[in-house]
């Protein structure tokens, strides 16, 4: 499925970091404005997906640095752990724990729900890339 095009490669070289940054932005604003871990995960996946189209799946895997299925596992693990965190304070599963940070909004409140959203982000990224790479490698 790799497309051999110099223009595409050049474009991707600039788009790739841009998309990743955008993903982080979407992720962070999610709790207060439309956005969130899911969409951010898709955006990040789009970045790697484009990269793989330009440079091939194998190269994209190398840039990602983690086996995609492992990413799914890590994402789920983070989500589960964020849920279990509440238990340590004697609260039910998935209870939010929050810490105030001396930072500007939206970074001033850090809590387990955000950690959970990070889990969502990683899982979505992992799944989408697993599918994209697999499709590319089969074709």
119 binds other proteins (CB under 8 A): yes
Specify the pairing of strand 109-111 against strand 98-100.
antiparallel
Q: Which phi and psi angles does 109 have, rounded to 5°?
A: -115, 115
24 contacts: CB under 8 Å, gap ≥ 6: 40
28 binds other proteins (CB under 8 A): no
Stretch that binds other proteins, among 7-15, 16-24, 25-33 (CB under 8 A): 25-33
Residue carrying structure tokens 């640095």: 65
Which residues contact other proteins (rule: CB under 8 A)? Answer: 1, 30-39, 42-43, 67-70, 72-77, 79-80, 83-84, 86-87, 91-96, 98, 109, 111, 113-114, 116-117, 119-120, 123-124, 126-128, 130-131, 134-135, 137-139
């Amino acid at each position: 499925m790799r497309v051999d095009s110099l223009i595409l490669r050049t474009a991707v070289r600039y788009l790739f970091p841009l998309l990743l940054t955008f993903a982080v932005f979407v992720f962070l604003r999610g709790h207060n404005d439309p956005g969130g871990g899911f969409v951010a995960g898709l955006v990040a996946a789009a970045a790697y997906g484009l990269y793989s189209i330009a440079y091939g799946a194998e190269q994209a895997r190398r840039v990602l640095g983690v086996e995609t299925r492992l990413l799914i596992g890590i994402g789920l693990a983070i989500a589960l752990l964020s849920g279990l965190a509440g238990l340590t304070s004697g609260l039910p599963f998935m209870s939010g724990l929050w810490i105030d940070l001396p930072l500007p909004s939206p970074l001033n409140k850090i809590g387990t729900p955000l950690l959970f959203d990070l889990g969502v982000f990683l899982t979505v990224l992992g799944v989408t890339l697993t599918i994209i790479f697999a499709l590319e490698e089969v074709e």
